[in-house]
């Protein structure tokens, strides 16, 4: 019994020793936040633009999340980003208050340009358009939110949905591409 407690204490201390704290000049936290282990922040520094991340009070980022780009990412008060999600911003991604983002979600404000058939796609640059997710939204497991989308307050995005168009207030959407299934009442 006592030996079990001692072993647990040693394990807990060992696990805290493996977590590393890094200084990110482009990360600003407001109030008490939780950022779990293995969260990767990748600053692309495109055309002297640096990634800027703002976490409001009680925002949470769970393990193995990737935040990347050269734009702005705002995570609102009491919102969270689930494990293995990727948020890629080269312009602006704004996530409101009380937003639940499940695991393995991808939110990006950028696409590759591919219009000129005479040039390789890799040489054509990117197209950006800001993404806005309003308050009290739930984004289900594996969903993809593409550039230029506005998700209005109270909406629910179904698991594995691909959202390419704006989502109205209190709408429940799902599918590929996402379509309105019904409205919350």
8 A C-beta contact, residue 70 and residue 43: yes
How far is Cα 185 from Cα 178, in angstroms, rounded to an integer? 20
CATH number, position 163: 2.160.10.10
Structural domain includes residue 36: yes
**Active-site residue (options: 8, 11, 40, 112):** 112
The rounded distance, in Å, linking the Cα atoms of 25 and 44 is 14
The domain containing residue 118 runs over which residues? 31-183
Residue 21 included in any domain? no
Q: Does the active-site annotation cover 40?
A: no
Token code pair at residue 46 = 């495109």
Whether the pLDDT of residue 4 is over 90: the answer is no
Domains: count for the chain: 1
Phi-psi category of 175—alpha, beta or left, where left has phi over 0 and alpha has psi -120 to 50?
A: left
Q: What is the pTM of this model?
A: 0.82
Residue 87 has pLDDT above 80, yes or no: yes
State whether residue 126 is helix, strand or coil.
Answer: strand
With 70 as the cut, is the pLDDT of residue 179 above it?
yes
Domain contains 15: no
**Rounded mean pLDDT of the chain?**
86
Q: Phi/psi of residue 107, each to 5°?
A: -125, 120
Summarize pLDDT for 139-158 with one digit per residue, the tens.
Answer: 999 999 999 999 999 999 99
């Amino acid at each position: 019994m006592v030996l079990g407690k001692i072993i647990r204490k040693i394990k807990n201390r060992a696990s805290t020793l493996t977590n590393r704290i890094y200084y990110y000049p482009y990360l600003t936290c407001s109030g008490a936040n939780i950022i779990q282990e293995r969260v990767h922040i990748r600053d692309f520094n495109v055309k002297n633009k640096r990634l800027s991340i703002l976490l409001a009070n009680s925002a949470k980022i769970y393990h193995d999340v990737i935040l990347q780009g050269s734009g702005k990412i705002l995570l609102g008060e009491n919102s969270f980003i689930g494990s293995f999600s990727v948020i890629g911003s080269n312009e602006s991604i704004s996530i409101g208050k009380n937003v639940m983002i499940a695991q393995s979600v991808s939110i990006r404000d950028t696409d590759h340009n591919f219009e000129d058939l005479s040039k390789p796609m890799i040489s054509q640059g990117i197209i950006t358009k800001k993404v806005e997710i309003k308050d009290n939204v739930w984004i289900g497991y594996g969903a993809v939110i593409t550039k230029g989308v506005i998700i209005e307050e109270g909406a629910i995005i179904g698991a594995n949905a691909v959202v390419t168009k704006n989502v109205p207030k209190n709408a429940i959407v799902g599918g590929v591409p996402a379509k309105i299934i019904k409205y919350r009442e």
